[in-house]
Structures are given as C-alpha cells and as structure tokens.
Structure 1
Amino acid sequence: MLLGIIGAMHEEVIELKEVMELIETSEIGGYQFFKGTLLNKEIVLVECGIGKVNAAICSTLLIQEFSVDKVLFTGVAGGLNPDINIGDIVISTDLIEHDFDCTAFGYEQGVIPRMENSKFKADLELIDLAKKVATENFGENRVFVGRILSGDMFVASNEKINWLRETFIGECTEMEGASVAHVCQILNKPFVVIRSISDKANHDANMNFDEFVKLAAQNSKIIIEGMLNAL
C-alpha cells in the first residue's frame, strides 16, 4: 500500500520529511514529491501550497503520477466550534467549499451546480483510525470529528465565524481540505483530513497562527505517525 500525505505549508510537511527515509524526489509542475518510507510504510509526501487551486492541482498529480492508494491531508486550521481550543484536533467527516456561491441561481451556499454531491465524505475506516490515534495521544475532550470548511480566505472575524458555523455547522475552517476531498471523490480515492487548531478564526487569528502553527504541525505529525503504525 502506498500512502499519499499532503500538507499545505512548509511547517506542516517538514515535521514528517525530517523523520522519513527518502528514496527519491520528483518535481512535477513545480511541486516536490518526496517518495520513501516512514515507520516501514511506503509514502509520498508533498507540500501543496496555500489555497484550493494549489491543493487540487497537487492532489491530482499525487494520485495520477504515483497511484497512491489512500490520501491523508494534515495541517492547521481555525476553530469555529466554541468548544474547540488551540491545539485541539479536528478529523473530517465531510468537507464543503464554503466560498462556492451560486445563490443567485437558487442554490444553497456551498453547493456546486451540476454535481451530485457538494459535501465530500471522508473514508469511514480512516476517520475511525485517526480518531483512535488522536484520542490515545491527546484525550477524548481534545478530539472533534465533524465537518471541515474550506475557502480561499483566512478567516479572522467573529462575524465570519458565526456565519460559517450557523450556515454549515462546521467545526473548523481552512483553505485546502475540501478541494483535496473534491479531487479524491472524483478519482475514487479514500481520504481523511486531519487538522490541528492553530487559532480561533477571530480578530486575534493572525497573531495566534504565527505563535501556534509549529505546535499544531507537531500534533498533526503525531497522529499521522500513529496511523501509519496501525495501517
């Protein structure tokens, strides 16, 4: 089994790259794919860059060029659920592109016209495994399983938090996961998105993000390693 692991930013990828045994590096379309082993599992690790288009291009290349069997997306996010705190873990049940807006044509916010489904569901087995590993490492009260929202914006206002939470009942918000999920659904690859909370998506979000992004990335690494041990 070959696992694809994606992170959006350097901070999210370097933690894993430093501990994997590298076999080869491939550059495709400006993305560097690191193929090797981690905990005796074959993986391809890649930094996709920030935003939905970058994530979609990168995940498509990962699946088509390397024929990975499963996709794990790891990284940081801003919390929407008021019960979620910095450092907590969110595991995706499904993901929505919250900034997809065709409401002028009568569609609900986040619905992509002419698609059967705009809520991209993660793989149940991967969800259960991620939850088990996260709970063992961080405790049940710090692990949330639910909907993750993605859009091409860094959310940093209470007004936007309230709107996202009320409209979509999302647990957290970020900028890539739903587009990776979109690609995985179309290309029929099981996936899960695992996010560690780096900020509360409010007016302090930019300050909190810079301070806690490394801690959040380390938390994500712990979960990925635990999942690899169990797979």
Structure 2
Amino acid sequence: MGYFLIGVLVVVLFIGNVIEEANGEISPTVLSKIEWMNKRGPYLGIVAPNNFELNPLLASQAYVPYPSLPFIDFAGRRFRFGKISNQRVVIVMTGLGMVNAGVATQLLVSLFRLKGVLHYGIAGNADVNLEIGDVTIPKYWAHSGLWNWQRYGDGIDDELALEAPGDYTRDIGYLQFSKYTNGSDNLLNRVWYQPEEIFPVTGTPEVREHIFWVPVDKSYLNLARQLEDTKLPQCVNTTCLPRPPKVTIVDRGVSASVFVDNAAYRTFLRSKFNATAVEMESAAVALICHQQSIPFVVIRALSDLAGGGSDMSNEADIFGSLAAQNSVDVLVKFVGLLPPYGSKIQSE
C-alpha cells in the first residue's frame, strides 16, 4: 500500500509539473536550476536564428559547455551554458521570424542575469558593392514589415486610417506597388512603413513610445571595429569567392518575417533605407534589448545577393555554409575582445 501511495504521489507531482509547463509557468525544478545558474552569472547572451547557424558554434573548439549543467529546457527553448574565451555565455536558438526571435530573446533577458546580447547568423545582401561571405555589423536595425496598407484611390497626401490619433504615420515613407506593374491599374496602391510601439523598462508602464531605427550599443560597435582586418576563408572545397570575405561596419539592416528573394524589393530597400543586411530576426532581438536596456550588437554574414543577380549562380546553396561559419568566427573573435565575465562593458 505504501509503494502504491508513493507511486500516486509521483504521478500527481509529474502531472502538476506538466500542467505548470503547459500553462507557461516555471516549474520548481526549472526555477531552481535558473536560480542556481544565475548565481554564477552574469552571462553574455548569444542568440542564434536556427540550427544552420547554431551548430557551427556548438562544434567550435572555442565553445566549452558547462559540465555540471550544460543546458536548461524551458518553453520550447534550450538555453545552453558554457564559456567562450573569457566569457560565461548562455546560448539560445530562436527559430524563424520576428515572433520567434522576440519571444526567445525576451525569455533570455527575463530569466537570466545578462550583461549583454550578441546576435549572429547569415543574411541576404542588398548592397551590390559587397560580396557573399562578407560579415556585416550594422549600426542600426529596423523592422521593415510593419505597414499601414493604404486604401485604393487614396494618394500620398491623404491621411492614413488611424493616423490622427497617433497610431500610424507617413513620416517614414512608403512602397508604391504601381511602380512595379506592367501597365495595368494596380489595386494594391501603396504601403507606408511604420515604427514599432515599444514599452521601455525605464518608461511608464502602458505608455507607448515609438522607434523605427534601433541603434546597437556604441561600446560594442567600437569593439567591432577591431575586427575589420579579420582573415576569413574564401573557398568551399574548390569553389572560391572572387575575393577574400571581409568584416565591415555598415549603416543599416532591416528585418521582417518575409524571405526576400526579389531583386526589385532588394533595390528598393537599399535606395530607401540604405540597408545592407536583409533578414528575418535581428530587428526583433534589437527591439527587445532596446526596451530592456541590454547592450547588444548583431553580426550577420552575407549568404547571397537578395533576389539574385550576382556573378555566381545558386550562391546561397554553395556559400551558405561558409557564410554561417564566417559569422561564427567573427562572433568568437568579438567575444574575445570583451572584458572578463564578471564585469559589464560601459555603454555610451
């Protein structure tokens, strides 16, 4: 009878933990692990988009997993603990798109003691003057997928729906679809780009602010300038790039939950926003870190000329793995430039 009661108790406790996790709550077991790891912080948070970019980092000799507790699983994410160079790090994979990236980053900064966040991976390229394999570190990031889609027949001088109360604006600009037709009337009219509503931890709860271009941390950016002479591999087997890839500080990157494989839109993003890196997660990471007052920087290697048109066919298929490895190599080198793990870099 005693064994039976113990068995029932175990089942009840197990079901209780499952219910807690299903409701999004932190189980006592997971919470105790988080508290135990936070006593050993602060950590440098590292955010990877997916396995394609995560696995080269995990396989790198630079990454040493924490032996006693190499990871904590929570909310469908795996938070990995270890060291890179002189830094204690916690690594998380986001998954595809802005929502996944925002959720994963918010969990990271809310659950763990962090002194900063590094985001890395590959990106499409909008600057024809750069090459596949180049690693870009943009100064600013914007979410380019928040639009007010204007009614057919309205013009650029007509007020947008809900513009008067401050929900939307025409200040940033628009994309007019009729510029990209073959002569027929285009019912799609135009979309106006919108800033994000944010709620900074330093602000008043539920009092919104707006931001479009999110700046990366200036101190991180200054450190990144030391990477511009980094030597990076040029070839995949016997197929080589026209020149060795380089690390370069660029003006802007844009993100949206849209895979851009269209040359016309790439050209528009370049001419309108002076964007270089075009991808699907970084702006979400930037927005979360900005609101939480966490220093951050983004390292994105160019895997293809978005929409095609480069001298090489199937460029992403051939050089995607090289670009992913380049982003990891630059990330590891950047981590090595940071102060010891117990200190916090001074943001400017």
Aligned in 2, Cα 1:36/1:169: closer, same or farther, shift over 3 Å?
Answer: same
Shift of 1:141: 5.9
Tell me what 2:318 maps to: 211
Number of residue equivalences? 231
Indicate the SS of the match to 1:116. strand
Tell me whether 1:82 sits opposite 2:128 in the alignment.
yes
Tell me what 1:49 maps to: 95
Indicate the SS of the match to 2:314. helix
The one of 219, 230, 233 equivalent to 1:125 is: 219
Whole-Å Cα distance in 2 between the matches of residues 212 and 171 of structure 1? 18
Matched ranges for 1:22-171 at <5 A: 22-23=65-66, 24-102=70-148, 104=160, 105=163, 106-107=169-170, 108=172, 109-112=193-196, 115-138=209-232, 142-171=247-276
Shift of 1:131: 2.7
Unmatched 5+ residue regions in structure 1? none
Tell whether the 8 Å contact from 1:90 to 1:146 is kept in structure 2 after alignment. no
| CA distances 1:23-72 after superposition (whole Å, capped 9, x unpaired) | 22111111111011122310011111110000000001111111211000
Tell whether the 8 Å contact from 1:81 to 1:171 is kept in structure 2 after alignment. yes
Shift of 1:140: 9.4
The amino acid across from 1:86 in the alignment is: I
Tell whether the 8 Å contact from 1:52 to 1:175 is kept in structure 2 after alignment. yes
Matched ranges for 1:186-205 at <5 A: 186-203=291-308
Tell whether the 8 Å contact from 1:91 to 1:131 is kept in structure 2 after alignment. no
Shift of 1:14: 1.0
- Structure (1 or 2) with the larger CA radius of gyration: 2
Tell me what 2:47 maps to: 6
Mean Cα deviation higher: 26-35 or 106-115: 106-115
Q: Which has the higher helix share?
A: 1
Shift of 1:115: 2.7
| CA distances 1:191-211 after superposition (whole Å, capped 9, x unpaired) | 001100000001479932232
Unmatched 5+ residue regions in structure 2? 1-41, 150-159, 164-168, 173-192, 198-207, 233-243, 339-348
The TM-score with structure 2 as length reference comes to 0.62
Shift of 1:85: 1.0
Whole-Å Cα distance in 2 between the matches of residues 141 and 57 of structure 1? 32
Indicate the SS of the match to 1:137. coil
| CA distances 1:77-106 after superposition (whole Å, capped 9, x unpaired) | 011011111001110201010111136334
Shift of 1:220: 0.9
Mean Cα deviation higher: 3-12 or 94-103: 94-103
Indicate the SS of the match to 2:209. coil
Aligned-pair Cα RMSD in Å: 2.1
Whole-Å Cα distance in 1 between the matches of residues 123 and 245 of structure 2? 19
Whole-Å Cα distance in 2 between the matches of residues 56 and 100 of structure 1? 15
The TM-score with structure 1 as length reference comes to 0.92
Shift of 1:22: 1.3
Tell me what 1:223 maps to: 330
Tell me whether 1:21 sits opposite 2:81 in the alignment.
no
Whole-Å Cα distance in 2 between the matches of residues 134 and 32 of structure 1? 32
